[in-house]
C-alpha cells in the first residue's frame, strides 16, 4: 500500500510532465516552422506573399528606378488593414480590396475587378534562390533571399521581415550588378496601429478574363521561363496575356494595327525585337517594350530585369498564327511602312 501523499502527488507530476512536453513541443513546432521557412528561400518568399494579405501596415514606400543615366526616386504613403490597401494619394492612387483594384493615374481611371488567383509557379524553376546574410531594413531584422540567373549573377534581392514575414524591400539588378529598380519601406508600423482604410469605390471590372483569344493574336503558353497565368480582354479590344515565373510577372498587351511611332512618348531606347523596330522604356513599374509585328502592336510590361524581358519576348514571334493572317501579312506586309 502506497502512502496517501504519494498517491496524491502522481497526477500532479503527470500533469507537469504533460504541460512541459506541450510547451516544449509547441516551441519546437514554432522553431521548426521558422527554421523551415528560414532554410527554404522559396517558402520564405511564399510566406511574404501571404503576409502581404494579413499584416496591417502603415508607412512610406520609396520607389527608385534607373532610366539611362538618370535615377528617379519617389516616395508614397501606404497602408493596409486586412485585405484592403491604399497606396499614394490624389490622382496617383492605387486602392485594393480582395482581388479588386482601382487606380487613378494621370487622369485616367482604370479598374481591375478580376479577383482570380492562380497557382503561381515555383520561383526555384527559373532562378537559383539562396539565403543571404541577415540585414536590417527600416530598423527591423530581415531575412534576405537572393535570386541568381543561370550565369550566377544576382539579379534580385528580397528582404523579408523576420517578425511578420512582410516584404520590406525588393531590389532588381541589371546584368552588370547595378541596381535597376528598388521598392522599400522607409517608414513602417505594423499591427493594430495601422489606421482603417477608407471605403473603396464600387470596383466594376472593365477587364474580363477570357479563353477566347482571336486567332490573329499570339498567345503562347510559355515565354521562356514565364508561364501563361491569365488571358484578359479589355473594352477597347486589347488582349492582355499575363505571365509569371514565380518571382516576376510579365503582361503582353496586343492590339490590331501598326505602331504610330510618331505619336509615341519621347525617351526610351530604340532597338528591335526579332528584326522589328522597337522602343524600350524604363519606369517605376518595370521595363516596357513596344514593337509592331504581323499587323499587331505589342506592348510588354514586366518587373523582371530588362534583359530577361527582352530575352523572352521574341518567342511571341514564333507563335503559330492563322493561315489567313499569314497570307494577309505576306500580301500586305510590304505596305505596312513604319
Smallest separation, CB 154 to another protein (Å) = 18
Nearer to another protein, 5 or 202 (CB): 202
Burial class (CB in 10 A: 0-12, 13-18, 19+), 4: exposed
Q: Least separation, in Å, of the C-beta of 27 and another protein? A: 30
Sequence-distant (≥ 6) Cβ neighbours of residue 36 within 8 angstroms: 43
Q: Which is nearer to another protein, 24 or 221 (CB)?
A: 221
Q: Give which of 166, 180, 183, 173 is closest to 76, Cα–Cα.
A: 183
Asked if 173 and 305 count as a contact pair (C-beta separation under 8 A), the reply is yes
Rounded to a whole number of angstroms, the minimum distance from the CB of residue 241 to another protein is 10
Distance CA 284, CA 183 (A): 9
Compute the C-alpha angle 251/127/221, nearest 5°: 40
Dihedral angle, C-alpha 244, 98, 49, 53, nearest 10 °: 170
| Distance, CA of 208 to CA of 318 (rounded, Å) | 26
**Contact present, 290 and 338 (Cβ < 8 Å):** no
Closest CB to another protein among residues 11, 107: 107
Assign 51 to helix, strand or coil: helix
DSSP state of 336: -
Residue 334 Cβ vs another protein, minimum distance, rounded to whole Å? 13
Question: How far is 316 from 292, CA to CA, in rounded Å?
Answer: 11
Q: Which is nearer to another protein, 303 or 306 (CB)?
A: 303
Report the nearest approach of another protein to the CB of residue 139 (Å). Answer: 18
Q: Nearer Cβ to another protein, position 87 or 315? A: 87
Shortest distance, position 133 Cβ to another protein, whole Å: 22
Instruction: Return the residue matching grid coordinates 477608407.
Output: 198
Closest approach of another protein to the CB of residue 123, in Å = 12
Residue pair 56/78 in contact (Cβ under 8 Å)? The answer is: no
Closest separation in Å from C-beta 64 to another protein: 10
Query: Quick one: 1 or 108, whose CB is closer to another protein?
Result: 108
Comparison of 68 and 152: residue with beta carbon closer to another protein: 68
Query: Quick one: 10 or 92, whose CB is closer to another protein?
Result: 92
Amino acid at each position: 500500500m502506497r502512502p496517501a501523499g504519494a498517491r496524491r502527488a502522481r497526477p500532479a507530476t503527470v500533469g507537469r510532465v504533460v504541460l512541459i512536453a506541450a510547451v516544449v513541443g509547441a516551441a519546437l513546432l514554432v522553431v521548426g516552422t521558422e527554421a523551415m521557412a528560414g532554410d527554404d528561400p522559396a517558402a520564405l518568399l511564399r510566406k511574404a506573399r501571404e503576409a502581404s494579405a494579413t499584416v496591417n501596415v502603415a508607412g512610406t514606400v520609396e520607389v527608385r528606378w534607373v532610366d539611362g543615366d538618370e535615377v528617379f526616386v519617389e516616395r508614397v504613403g501606404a497602408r493596409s488593414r486586412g485585405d484592403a490597401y491604399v497606396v499614394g494619394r490624389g490622382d496617383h492612387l492605387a486602392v485594393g480590396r480582395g482581388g479588386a483594384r482601382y487606380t487613378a493615374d494621370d487622369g485616367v481611371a482604370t479598374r481591375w475587378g478580376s479577383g482570380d488567383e492562380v497557382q503561381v509557379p515555383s520561383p526555384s524553376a527559373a532562378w537559383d534562390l539562396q539565403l543571404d546574410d541577415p540585414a536590417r531594413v527600416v530598423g527591423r531584422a530581415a531575412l534576405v533571399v537572393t535570386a541568381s540567373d543561370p550565369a550566377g549573377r544576382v539579379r534580385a534581392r528580397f528582404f523579408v521581415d523576420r517578425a511578420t514575414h512582410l516584404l520590406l524591400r525588393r531590389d532588381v539588378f541589371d546584368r552588370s550588378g547595378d541596381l535597376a529598380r528598388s521598392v522599400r519601406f522607409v517608414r513602417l508600423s505594423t499591427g493594430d496601429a495601422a489606421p482603417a482604410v477608407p471605403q473603396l469605390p464600387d470596383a466594376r471590372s472593365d477587364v474580363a478574363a477570357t479563353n477566347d483569344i482571336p486567332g490573329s493574336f499570339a498567345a503562347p503558353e510559355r515565354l521562356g521561363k514565364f508561364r501563361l497565368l491569365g488571358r484578359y480582354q479589355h473594352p477597347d479590344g486589347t488582349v492582355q496575356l499575363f505571365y509569371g515565373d514565380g518571382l516576376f510577372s510579365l503582361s503582353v498587351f496586343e492590339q490590331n494595327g501598326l505602331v504610330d511611332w510618331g505619336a509615341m512618348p519621347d525617351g526610351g531606347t530604340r532597338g528591335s525585337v526579332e528584326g522589328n523596330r522597337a522602343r524600350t522604356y524604363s519606369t517605376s513599374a518595370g521595363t516596357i517594350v513596344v514593337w509592331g509585328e504581323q499587323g499587331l502592336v505589342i506592348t510588354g510590361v514586366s518587373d523582371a530585369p530588362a534583359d530577361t524581358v527582352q530575352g523572352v519576348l521574341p518567342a511571341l514571334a514564333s507563335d503559330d498564327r492563322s493561315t489567313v493572317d499569314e497570307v494577309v501579312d505576306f500580301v500586305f506586309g510590304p505596305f505596312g511602312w513604319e
